[in-house]
Amino acid sequence: MRGKKTKVKVPKPLFAPIVRSMKRAREVTSAFHAHTRTLSDGAASAHAKAAALEALDELGGRQAYQEASVLTTTRHRTSKWTFAVLTKRGMRPKKGERALRALEVGAINTDLMSAKWLDVRAIDIKSQHPKIVQRDFFDEVVKEGAYDVVHSSMVLNCVPTAAQRGEMLARTAKMLRVGGVFFLYIPVRCVKAMTHETLVRFLRAVGLRVVEHKATPKVMFYCAEKVDPKTAASTQDKVEKCKAREEFVLRTSAQTLASKDTDAFSVALEQRHMCGF
C-alpha cells in the first residue's frame, strides 16, 4: 500500500520583498536619488531634510533601493558588455596567464565573478551577498596601478555632490594601470544633463580616454582606457589641446559649484585631479 506523498514545504522569507515590478523599481530609484540629494544639500532647510528622511523611510530606505537596483540591472546585463569589450580589445588572458585584477564598485550581484579570468574584488556600501565586501568606495586605499579593470554600474549617479563625483573619477583613474580600463554605466538622463561631450572631456582630464560607448533607452555604457603619459602629450599640439581641455574642465567645474541647481547632474574637478596630459 502506497503512503500519501508529503509535500515539501518551502520556507517563506520573514519579510516580503519591497520591490517586485520594473515600474516600481524605477520609481524607487528615482525617489531615492531625489531624497538623498536633499539630505546632502547644504542649502536645504532642516524641515526639508526631515521631510526627505521621512520619505526615505516610507520608501523602504536603502533596502528598497538595493532591491530595485537588482531588478533593474537584470534588464541591462552590464557584465555581458564588459566581457564582450574586454574580449574585443584582446585583454582576456590566455591559458597560463594571470587573471585580470578587477574592482567592482557598487556590486549588487556576482555576475562579474562568474568569469574565471577575472580576479574580482567586489564592494558595495550595503552588501547583499557574502562574496561582496561591505565597504564605501571612498574608504578604499588608492594604490596606483592596482587594477586592470574597474567596473562601476549605476554608482556615480548615486554620489550626492558634483565634487565627490569628481573625486571618484580621479581616484578611479589612479587605481588603474596604464592600459587598464574603466567601465562606467550611468543613466541616460544624467548624461543628457551633463552632455556626452562634457563627460568625455572630464574623463580625459583625469587620464581616461573613452574607447567604446553605447546607449540604451535608459543607460549609457562607457569603456575608458588609462592613457600612457609618455605618449599622451608628446607634441606641442597635444600640449595645447590638453591645456584647453583642462581650462574648460576647471571653468565648468567652477560654474557647477557656484550653481544653486542641486538637482542637475554634474561633475566638478579640481586642479589636483588633472593628469597633465
Q: pLDDT tens digits, residue range 127-154?
A: 888 999 999 999 999 999 999 999 999 9
Residue 234 corresponds to which cell in the numbers above? 608628446
| Whether this model's pTM surpasses 0.85 | no
Residue 39 has a pLDDT of 67
Residue 277 has a pLDDT of 84
Architecture of domain 77-273: 3-Layer(aba) Sandwich (3.40)
What CA–CA distance (Å, rounded) separates 205 from 246? Answer: 6
* Torsion angle in degrees (nearest 10) through CA of 56, 61, 65, 66: 170
121 phi and psi angles, rounded to 5 deg: -105, 110
pLDDT digits (tens, 9 = 90+) for 218-233: 899 999 999 998 887 7
Q: Which residues of the chain have pLDDT under 50?
A: 1, 5-16, 75-76
Burial 80-111 (b: 16+ CB within 10 A, else e): ebbbebbeeeebeeeeeeeebbbbbbbbbbeb
The full set of domain ranges for the chain reads: 22-74, 77-273
Residue 60 corresponds to which cell in the numbers above? 523602504
Residue 1 has a pLDDT of 47
Query: What does the DSSP assignment read for 69-138?
Result: HHHHHHHH-HHHHHHHHHHHTT-SPPTTSPPEEEEEET--SSTGGG-TTEEEEEEETT-SSTTSEE--GG
Helix (H, G, I), strand (E, B) or coil at 159: coil
What CA–CA distance (Å, rounded) separates 108 from 127? Answer: 7
